[in-house]
Amino acid sequence: MRIETDCVGSLAIPDKALYGIHAARAQQNFPISSEKTDVALMKNIVLIKQAAAVVNQQAGTLDSQKSRAIIRACQDVLSGKYDDQFVVAAIQGGAGTSANMNVNEVVANVAGQYTAIVIHPNDDVNQSQSTNDVFPTAGKMTLLQLYPALRQQLQRLVHVLLDRAETFKDAVKVGRTQLQDAVPTTFGNSFHAYYSLFKRDLQRVNQAVDVLRNVNLGGTAIGTGLNASEFYREHIVDEVNDLTGVKLVVSEDKIDATQNCDALAAFSSSLKMLSLDLIKLSNDLRLLGSGPQAGLCELRLPAVQAGSSIMPGKVNPVIPEVVNQVAFQVIGYDTTVSLAVQAGQLELNAFEPVIFKDLIDGEAILTGALETLVTRCLEGIQVNAEYGKEQVEKSAISATVLAPVIGYERAMNLVKQAIRQKKSVKTLLKTQAIMSDEQIDYLFSTQHLINRPNDKRYVKVVN
């Protein structure tokens, strides 16, 4: 064991540990769960340290030998060789200071292996920086790096829904409002509505994620840039961009960017909206696929696993179910993010650790859920077209088209008679000689029922 000292006192640290007293105290203070700060976020902090070593050396505030040692250490840490030295909990007090200091200590101790000069975690590795600009920048970098995978899967969802809309454009079904029979429609219409819905989600998330590029790096403690050279403030973001390609932008008001987290709330909200829409789609899939004998049975979801340990042959809609659960989780994360964003006080929001924890996890699990939904369900989904057509033809909903022709009251009485006599409205209409068979056939044609007319014939209103 070795003894390290800070402003609180002294503490014994394992000899083999590359982290130091700050990370060790965090281990003692935050034994909330086994979940550590996301490794990708920690490595983005390392990337900022590497960029800072370059810029500080160029600014003349960091010895070139120390700079080289820190850069080499950062590269070693980024290789994954020392991932086990990132020991601080994901949920931590201190606005992320424990995570930042964990990285400072590891980089300093690794760098010390390459030079006889002492590398100090604060004075050297953390030079020109504060947790308050490093941690949120690293968190935003992580979200930006995760986003291409989410965008790709959301685009796949949009494309497959449009494809299903085209494939099933002529598959007639009963349209329902309040779960009651309403008017005829097609599965093509239904899937095109889903396509339009998720196309809007894609636009919303794209807009929200773009704002995350604005960072306060160079603002140090509260955005004023205290203890950072002018050269550093002007060049640090460019250096980070050169290292990572994430295309960060220096915020026009770094004081605002340090204390306010509305951009994170907006991104979280876009993920929540996507989740709400996934629930709508998943619930519809489960309902329309219910059965296969006593349910609606209008959709056939791909059978991907046995559904019961007691009921032979039962197959459950497990893909929509798991998507729902992911969506529930992300909506819960959004509540946490909302509370954390509004809880910031004065010049800093101290609750960014839980904000980034939930956003990073939410973005990742949504990506997985979208891929699963498309690959394991939507690409292989089928419609029960004959059954849907049969239900439309038997249902009294087709009488809706008669209201403009024979009047609402007369059409209603016809519907009641059809239900009572268990006959189709079309059959009754032909027996009552209200209009010609040609007119009846036109009114009850599939194209007319789904409001896709292919005939401009005028049907005279009967008084």
CATH number, residue 281: 1.20.200.10
Residues 41 and 118 in one domain: yes
pTM for this entry: 0.92
Q: Give yes or no for a contact between 265 and 351, defined as CB atoms under 8 angstroms apart.
A: no
CA dihedral 59, 60, 63, 64 (to 10 degrees): 70
pLDDT over 60 at 388, yes or no = yes
Residues 15 and 164 in one domain: no
Q: What is the pLDDT of residue 458?
A: 41
422-437 confidence digits (pLDDT tens): 888 888 888 887 788 8
Residues 103 and 175 in one domain: no
Listed residues 127, 144, 159: the one ending a domain: 127
Residues 10 and 121 in one domain: yes
Q: What is the pLDDT of residue 145?
A: 98
Residues 172 and 284 in one domain: yes
Q: What is the mean pLDDT of residues 197-224?
A: 98
Q: What is the pLDDT of residue 19?
A: 95
* Catalytic residue numbers, as ranges: 308
Distance CA 360, CA 139 (A): 8
351-366 confidence digits (pLDDT tens): 999 999 999 999 999 9
Q: Which residues are bridge partners to 180 per DSSP?
A: 177
Residues 59 and 160 in one domain: no
Q: What is the pLDDT of residue 402?
A: 85
Residue 155 lies in a domain: yes
Query: Residue 454: pLDDT band by 50, 70, 90 thresholds?
Result: low
- Kindly state the percentage of the chain with pLDDT values over 70: 98
Domain residue limits at 348: 134-204+259-385
pLDDT over 90 at 181, yes or no = no
pLDDT over 60 at 457, yes or no = no
The total domain count for the chain is 3
Q: What is the pLDDT of residue 80?
A: 95
Distance CA 326, CA 275 (A): 8
Selected residue with higher pLDDT from 415 and 244: 244
Q: What is the mean pLDDT of residues 295-311?
A: 87
Q: Say whether 3 sits in a helix, a strand or coil.
A: strand
Q: What is the mean pLDDT of residues 438-442?
A: 87
Residue 229 lies in a domain: no
**Averaged confidence pLDDT in the chain:** 93
Q: What is the mean pLDDT of residues 1-23?
A: 93
Torsion sign, CA atoms 443, 447, 453, 456 = negative
- Outline where DSSP puts E strands in 87-197: 172-177, 180-186
Q: What is the mean pLDDT of residues 160-177?
A: 95
Closest CA to 22 of 5, 34, 46: 5
Q: Give yes or no for a contact between 343 and 351, defined as CB atoms under 8 angstroms apart.
A: yes
Q: Give yes or no for a contact between 218 and 134, defined as CB atoms under 8 angstroms apart.
A: no
Distance CA 32, CA 283 (A): 35
The tokens for 219 are: 């603002």
Q: What is the pLDDT of residue 463?
A: 42
Q: How many CB atoms lie within 10 A of CB 401?
A: 20
Q: What is the pLDDT of residue 456?
A: 46
Residue 68 lies in a domain: yes
Residue 458 lies in a domain: no
Residue 345 lies in a domain: yes
Distance CA 244, CA 217 (A): 15
**Over the range 299-319, which residues count as b (16 or more CB within 10 Å of their CB) and which as e?**
bebbeeeeeeeeeeeebbbbb
Q: Give yes or no for a contact between 47 and 81, defined as CB atoms under 8 angstroms apart.
A: no
Residues 170 and 303 in one domain: yes
Query: Residue 131: pLDDT band by 50, 70, 90 thresholds?
Result: very high
What spatial distance separates the first Cα and last Cα of the chain, rounded to whole Å? 99
Listed residues 385, 407, 437: the one ending a domain: 385
pLDDT over 60 at 324, yes or no = yes
pLDDT over 80 at 459, yes or no = no
Distance CA 444, CA 398 (A): 7
Q: What is the CATH number of the domain that holds 32?
A: 1.10.275.10
Residue 213 lies in a domain: no
CA dihedral 126, 130, 133, 136 (to 10 degrees): 80
Q: Say whether 181 sits in a helix, a strand or coil.
A: strand
Q: What is the pLDDT of residue 219?
A: 98
Q: What is the pLDDT of residue 243?
A: 96
Radius of gyration of the chain (CA): 31
Residues 17 and 162 in one domain: no
Helix ranges (DSSP H) in 343-402: 352-376, 385-394
Residues 192 and 283 in one domain: yes
Residues 32 and 166 in one domain: no
Q: Give yes or no for a contact between 225 and 219, defined as CB atoms under 8 angstroms apart.
A: yes
Contacts 24+ apart (CB under 8 A), 304-308: 304/376, 304/377
Q: Give yes or no for a contact between 29 and 89, defined as CB atoms under 8 angstroms apart.
A: no
Q: What is the pLDDT of residue 311?
A: 83
Residue 216 lies in a domain: no
Listed residues 127, 159, 192: the one ending a domain: 127
Q: What is the CATH number of the domain that holds 426?
A: 1.10.40.30
Residues 144 and 119 in one domain: no
Which residues, other chains included, contact 84 with Cβ-Cβ below 8 Å and sequence gap of 6+? none
Which residues, other chains included, contact 67 with Cβ-Cβ below 8 Å and sequence gap of 6+? 53, 54, 56, 57
Residue 267 lies in a domain: yes
Residues 162 and 263 in one domain: yes
| Helix axes 39-59 and 230-244, enclosed angle (nearest 10) | 130
Q: Give yes or no for a contact between 250 and 218, defined as CB atoms under 8 angstroms apart.
A: yes
pLDDT over 90 at 300, yes or no = yes
Torsion sign, CA atoms 172, 178, 181, 182 = negative
